[in-house]
Amino acid sequence: MAGKKKAVAPGGRQAAYAARNRAALVKAGQEVLAEVGPSATIEQLAGHAQVSPTTIYKYFENKEALFEEAFNDAWGNWLMWASQQKAPGDHLELILDTGRKLFWARKTHPFFAKMLHNVLEQDPFFIIKADRGEGAEVFKRLAAGGLIKGENFEQRYLLWTSMYAGLSRAVFFTEELSPAEADAAFGVGLSVWGLSEAKIKKILARKLVLAPTA
C-alpha cells in the first residue's frame, strides 16, 4: 500500500516556485552574458528568458543585480571545480593553482570563457567586483599564516587584483596572451607577495590538473 504523500504547505510551494523562477532567470542571465555581455538591455534579458521585464524586477532590483548573481553563480561553480581538481601541494600552492587554472578556461569551461570574454570587454574590472571581497579574505589568511607578506596588505592586494584582471582580459578579450604566457606573467606578479624566485619557480613548475567538464 502506497504511503500518503506529505502535505506541502502553501507557503512552501510558493517559495519553491519563486526559487525555480529565480534560478531560471539566473541561467538566462548567464546565457545573455555569454552571447551579448553586461551591456544587454532588460528587454533583451526578458526576451531571452521569455518573461516580461516586470517579472525580472520582481526578483532583481535591476539588470546589473541579475548579471552579478548570474556571474557569481558561474564563478562559484568554476571555483568549486578548480578546487576539486588538484595535485598534491602546500596550501599556498593549491590556492595559486586555482588562480592559474582560469587562464585555461577555454579548454575546460568554454561557456564560462564566453562569459569572461564579454564581461571583460565591457568592464575590465568585472571579476574584481564580482569577487565581493572573498579573495581578499583568502589572501589575508595566507598572510596571517606567514605564507606571503602581510605588510601593506591593502596596497599589495590592489596591485595583485589589478594584475590578475589585466591578465584575464589579455587572455579572454584582447587575446594578446596565450594561457602559457599569462601563466608566466602570473609568476612575475607573485613578487608582490614577497615570494622568493625559487618558490615562484616551483609554483610555476607545478602541472595543473585540467580535467574538462562534461
Instruction: Please report the DSSP string for 86-119 in residue order.
Output: --S--HHHHHHHHHHHGGGHHHH-HHHHHHHHHH
Q: How confident is the model at residue 16 (pLDDT cuts 50, 70, 90)?
A: confident
Average confidence (pLDDT) over 2-8: 46
Mean pLDDT of the chain: 89
Average confidence (pLDDT) over 188-200: 96
Joined together, the cell numbers standing for residue 190 give: 607573485
* pLDDT at residue 135, as a whole number: 87
Report how far apart, in Å, the C-alpha atoms of 158 and of each of 35, 130, 161 are.
Answer: 30, 15, 5
